[in-house]
Each structure stands twice: as structure tokens, then as C-alpha cells.
Structure 1
Amino acid sequence: MFEDVLNDIKDGAGDFDKRDVTLLNPLVLAYIGDAVYEMFVRTVVIMSQPESSVHKMHMKTTEFVKAHAQFEILKRISPDLTEEEANIVRRGRNCKSGFVPKNADVVEYRMATGFEALIGYLYMIQNNKRLIEMLNLSVSGEHDMGDVPHFI
């Protein structure tokens, strides 16, 4: 289901050459990655807790999209990253945005930016299989989301 949504969005947006995507500023990749990741998490929350109030859904989503959670996710998935993916994460992590939210640790925020850059990169090069794999890994594990649907 989520992969169909990704395909529909990309069909309307056009194709990007992998080389062109690699040359994008990592903050641009993080910008789109943030949107893709939040849409995924919101979809999972709605599917796993359809009767919850919107406020509860928002609170559950926030558990996954905040910098600390993304930092923890990145620590968990890092051993499984390809060299190319690790380079995207490194570039995102090292790119200074000039902004750190007051409720986030600087190191965690920068690592979270690396995670979002990875998600954005996979989305932009249309590697949906790997993107869905990374997204599924992001909601499995230590956080309790109840019966979490996986998109494969």
C-alpha cells in the first residue's frame, strides 16, 4: 500500500537521475526524507490504532519522528547500511543547518538529519524496496506501537 503511494507521488513529480540526486545538498535530501518518513509513520499509526483520537495519534507519531528516536533508529540500522547509504548518512550528519531545536541534543539532531537524508535519497532514486525495508526497520524494535503493519 505505502509503496503504491510512493509510486503515485513520484509519477507526478518526474524522475531524477541517481547522479543528480547524489549531488543534491544533503539538507535537501533530509527535507524530503523528513516528509516521507513522517507520512510513513502517520500511515502506520493510523493503521495500527484507527480508533485512537487524533491527539493520541499525534503523540505516537512524535515518538518516532523526534530527533532522539531517529538517532536511535540510525544506531540500530547502521550495521546494515551499504557503503553508498553510509556515505549519504555521513554527508547529512556533517552538513550544518544552522538550526537545532531547543529540545534536541546537537549530536542526536545531526544524526537524525543523516537518517532523514538517507530516507530522502532512497525516495529520490526510487529504490522503493530498500526504502520500505528501512522504514519498516524504523518502526520495529524498541518502541511499542502495538500491532504494527509492515509494508513489503
Structure 2
Amino acid sequence: MTSEEEESSKVLTTQSALSWAEVRFQQLSTITISPSRIQQVSPASLAYLGDAVYELYIRTCYLLPPRRPCDYHQQVVAQVRAESQAKILRSLEPHLTDPELQILRRGRNAATGHPRRLDRKIYQQATSLETLLGYLYLTDPQRLTQLLAHLDLDPR
């Protein structure tokens, strides 16, 4: 495969994952959760939801071209680990609004413990990203899709 074909495949794969995400996340806009109810959801719960949303999105991005399940797993794990999430967060920060930055702070402050292998700051950044993704999943699926479009993934 030439580099031109690889680039085209990468773009198509990312676009198909994004269009899938757009459709699925926009379907949620029919679910109405009042802002006061959202404020009752703990940052840890939002992070729990955001972790699932992010992993599903990443799994979708790496679905094509077809490969062995263990290869999928290695690529997905590389993207969903805390170090990668912290890097993704840093790349998204310039695109975030003030209310989104406040959600990040809530998520960062909710990250009380951390795995021994990780620096506490990295863990807090990853939890912040997950909190934001969970929040946007519930409140603004279109904005979630916009932010996911900024991710620089390398689906090989």
C-alpha cells in the first residue's frame, strides 16, 4: 500500500468512526436530563461514563482495517491508558470553553487516588478528560462529536 493509499484509508476510517459517533451521540439528544439533575451527578460518575464513551469511540476508530482481536486490543489499550488520555486532554484544552474547563477542574479534584505506576497529575488529567466526555455525552452530544473530531489518532 502506498503512503497516499494509507493516508486515504486513515481519513476514511476516522471519518466513518466519526460519522458513527455523530449518529449515536446525536440520538441521545432526545434524552432530556435537566441541568439541575446533571449537577447532582458526581464527577466520579461522569468519569465512569466518559471512560466508556471514550473507549467505545476509540474501538470504533480502530475497527478498520480488519485485524486480529489481540491487535485491536493492543491499539485500543495504548489509546485509553491514562498517559494517552492526559496527552489528548492537553491537545484539546485550547478548544474548550470556560464551562468545559470548569468541568475539567471538577474532574481533576475528584481524582483522589491513583495507581502506583502513575504520576498523580497524569491520573488527574485523565480523569478530567473522562469527566468532560461523560458530561458532554449527557448534555451536548454535538459538542462531544466536535471535540472528538480534534483527536489525532493513528489507526493503522
Please tell me the TM-score bracket, short chain as reference.
0.7 to 0.9
Structure 1 CA distance for aligned equivalents of residues 116 and 72 of structure 2: 23
Pick one of 26, 51, 63 that aligns with 2:43.
Answer: 26
List per-residue Cα deviations over 1:44-85 (Å, max 9, x = no partner). Answer: 1103x3x21111111111111110011011111111110000
More helix by share: 2
Matched, 1:5 2:24: yes
2:14 maps to none
Q: Does 1:78 align with 2:93?
A: yes
Structure 1's unaligned 5+ residue stretches are: 147-152
Equivalent residues of 1:92, 1:115 under 8 A apart: yes
Q: Which moved more, 1:17-26 or 1:62-71?
A: 17-26
Q: Secondary structure at the residue paired with 1:55?
A: helix
RMSD: 1.8
Give the alignment's TM-score, normalised by structure 1: 0.81
Where do 4+ consecutive residues of structure 1 move more than 4 Å? 7-11
1:131 aligns to 2:144 (yes or no): yes
TM-score, normalised with respect to structure 2? 0.79
Unmatched 5+ residue regions in structure 2? 1-19
* Matched position secondary structure for 1:35: helix
**Correspondence for 2:155 among 139, 145, 151:** 145
Distance 1:40 1:112 in 2: 16
Instruction: Say whether the 8 Å CA contact 2:58–2:76 is kept in structure 1.
Output: yes
8 Å Cα contact 2:28/2:141 also seen in 1? no
In the alignment, what sits opposite 1:106? Answer: 120
What is the number of equivalent residue pairs in this alignment? 137
Change (3 A) 1:105 1:43: same
Q: Distance in 1 between matches of 2:86 and 2:97?
A: 18
Tell me if 1:119 matches 2:133: yes
Offset, 1:129: 1.5
Q: Which residue does the alignment assign to 2:74?
A: 59
